[in-house]
Amino acid sequence: MINWILLAMITVLQALDVYTTWRALRNPGNCEANKIMARLMAWIGVLPALIVTKLLFIVILAAAVLWTSLYAAAYAYILTCTLCLVLGGYALVAGNNFRRL
């Protein structure tokens, strides 16, 4: 259950990251710090690149949560720890983006 709650929190942070990154990149002088994302944005556009990567990330995490929930408590514990680290990292990213708006 906790994994699904963490996944929901990460999903909200991903949405905030998409919004704040998109808004921040509209301001002159701001640029994408992640070089891989910057290339993808140049190739398919800022908003499509953000949406595609975030959705892919959430789908992979949801599959991992579902798989660990069905098969092994030890894996679920490891996934919970990983989700907490990801949650903290994306909270920092979203906070940094808000400062740049």
pTM of the predicted model as reported, rounded to 2 decimal places: 0.69
Domain residue extents for the chain: 2-100
Per-residue pLDDT tens over the stretch 7-47 = 888 888 889 889 988 998 888 888 888 788 889 899 999 99
Per-residue pLDDT tens over the stretch 72-85 = 666 666 677 777 77
Q: How confident is the model at residue 52 (pLDDT cuts 50, 70, 90)?
A: very high
Cα 15 to Cα 55, 66, 69, 73, distances in angstroms: 9, 21, 24, 29
Asked if residues 25 and 95 have their Cβ atoms less than 8 Å apart, the reply is no
